[in-house]
Amino acid sequence: MAYVIALPCVDVKDKACVEECPVDCIYEGNRTLYINPEECVDCGACEPVCPTQAIFYEDDLPSEWSQFAAINAEFFADLGSPGGAAALGPIDRDHPFVAALPPQGE
């Protein structure tokens, strides 16, 4: 299990969670942030600092956002486990589901 970033992060990307993550497993896509489930150590440091309440432990993910567990994992299908978001920097893409979403918060 891992923490998951869901819909409220799309088009916000506050990044308070990135600063709080002790293992640097939160990566930046074009429209949202993604938690690498292979690198997440389930510490929960990211969840309370998220201003949009977009981060959930996978078992606690609201049913309307359940697809985001797979979306976070699938984002890393080509990347694998790079071993840290800071060294990699922003990734110029999003999961196809996220990329197809209409603009959020407007």
- Show me where the domains of the chain are located: 3-81
Q: What is the pLDDT of residue 59?
A: 95
pLDDT average, residue stretch 45-72? 97
DSSP states of 19-81: HH-TT--EEE-SSSEEE-TTT-----SSGGG-TT--EEEGGG--GGGTHHHHHHHHTTTTT--
Q: Write down the pTM of the prediction.
A: 0.96
Which residue(s) pair with 57 in the sheet? 3
pLDDT average, residue stretch 58-78? 96
- Give the count of beta carbons closer than 10 Å to the beta carbon of residue 35: 26
Degrees to nearest 5, angle at CA 74 with 30 and 49: 60
**What CATH architecture is 3-81?**
2-Layer Sandwich (3.30)
